[in-house]
A = this chain, B = another copy of it.
Amino acid sequence: MAINLYDQANELERALRQSDEFQQLKNMYDEVNSDESASKMFENFRNIQMQLQQKQMSGEEITQEEVEQAQKAAQLVQQHDKISKLMEAEQRMSMVITDLNKVIMKPLEELYGSVQQ
């Protein structure tokens, strides 16, 4: 990879690391991780989510019981102050990443767009 490209990527990495969105995400993670009951509840929620996703992707059937279990776990974390704040911070970070990707990938979108016409 050309040096200029690598330099620019490193500059963007530093800007991302210093951004409010990343700093807030980091703080919220630390908050949840230093709280044993919160981190266990969050981990349990993530595990349930992942299991359902894997089942969906492999085409396996998801039972009514599993859906209800996932809904209960989601309600629990949404009612938890620290976890809900962490999840909001994750969503904001995810929106930033999406926006960054849109900007960076413009040259390729233009190229592939023009090819598909």
Binding site for B on A (CB under 8 A): 1-2, 4-13, 15-22, 25-26, 29, 33, 58-59, 93, 96-97, 99-100, 103-108, 111, 115
Contacts and interface: CB of A to CB of B under 8 A. Distances in A.
A103 B13 contact: yes
A1 B99 CA distance: 8
Contacts of A100: 1, 5, 9, 104
Q: Which of A5, A17, A21, A100 is packed against the most chain B CB atoms within 10 Å?
A: A5
A25 to B, nearest CB: 7
A37 to B, nearest CB: 16
B16 A5 contact: yes
Contacts of A33: 115
